[in-house]
Amino acid sequence: MLEKEKRKFKEKIKEIIGKWYIRLLVLFISTTLIFCISFLLEGLYKVMMFLSSILSFIFTIREVFVVIFQRREEKIVEKIIERVPAWMEEKLRTAEKELVKSRKREEKLKRVLLKLKSSIKTAGISVDEIIKEYDKPIKAILLFKFRERCKEKRKDSKPLRSRLIQLGFKHLQSGVYILPPIRVPEEINTQEDLRRWVHQNIVSPINGNLEYVFPFVALIDLRKTFSEKKAPKKAWGRTIFSVLEIDEILPPEAIYSFLRKRHITIEDLIKLGDIVFLASSSCDEQTLSKLEASKDEIMSKLKKILNKDKIKLIEIAEMDTEKLSQVLRGVVKDEERVAKAIKREAIFWKKFLDLKC
């Protein structure tokens, strides 16, 4: 019964579709729909073009207004500056002078602390002790260079090593070098920054077919670094903090602030009578390095000669030049000249500090 009904329904549908006027109606409806859709699409395109034109016009007007506004703003700024009262101008000049003064003060501190480096050590203050109290990162570059070879013949057989020293790197030991914080560019913060800087400044400037190995190159924060040496002072092996000088690590203001916290004045440091400080006004860097290296031995001999537990500025100012010369023999070449220079400087500071008191 159900199958018969289905067949009848299908036959009726075929009969309706087969009629000519039905076909004509379907064709008319299809054509009308196509025409409407085309019209709508074309209209939409025109609308989009119209909106685009309006937006372009708005942006053009906006640019014109920005230019006019900027010119007007510049005129307003000029008028404000013209009407700044004299006391404000004076305040600005004072601020500029203060800035110049602070820069000059920093330069003065640099010079003073450069001369007093050895005295700070004599006072028992270590570099790592000052670093621990510093509140900003202290960046240094640690580089390990393992072998180097240039296939092209050249006068300098170790150009990479020469380049590192030229840039200010200091040799620790066994191919390990460190660039002091004062020489590390501020823009180096990431591994990629470090890689770029190394290639641009160390490798690229060396002409020739260079072969080398960098087992590691690292940007370190000295605040997070420690060193140990369980051996006599003169024993083989140096640490980072014995290689780097205090003025190569921290700005002078930081060192000076540390001394003030410890209630140590520049006068206190001078009164210690450090021989390297006393020789620094008259001797060259090589002589000062030799005095620094043998300072403990020199002071030990002076204590025995003068029969005193401590040797300070006043003792050196009042001691015999010949005795001081004998102690310096074998340490520096022209020991008599150096002894006279040390005593002369000691006398000067003794008199100055006495007058000051």
Domains of the chain, residue spans: 14-68, 101-125+264-357, 134-249
Low-confidence ranges of the chain (pLDDT < 70): 1-70, 72-73, 76-77, 79-81, 84, 153-154, 156, 207-208, 233-235, 355-357
Answer for the pair 141, 179: CB distance below 8 angstroms, yes or no: yes
**pLDDT attached to residue 178:** 94
pLDDT for the residue numbered 357: 40
DSSP 200: I
CA distance linking residue 68 with residue 47, whole number of Å: 32
Relative to beta strand 139-150, strand 176-179 is antiparallel
Distance (Å, rounded) from C-alpha 255 to C-alpha 122?
Answer: 15
pLDDT of the residue at 64: 63
SS3 content of the chain, % helix, strand, coil (to 5): 65, 10, 25
What integer pLDDT is reported at residue 285 of this predicted model? 87
Per residue in 50-64, pLDDT (tens digit) is: 566 666 666 666 666
State the pLDDT at residue 97: 83
Specify the pLDDT at position 106. Answer: 80
Question: Six-digit token pair at 206?
Answer: 């060396």
Q: In this predicted structure, what is the pLDDT of residue 284?
A: 87
251-270 tens-digit pLDDT: 888 888 888 888 888 889 99
Q: Is 239 helix (H, G, I), strand (E, B) or coil?
A: coil
Residue 325 Cα distances to 176, 298, 310, angstroms: 38, 11, 19
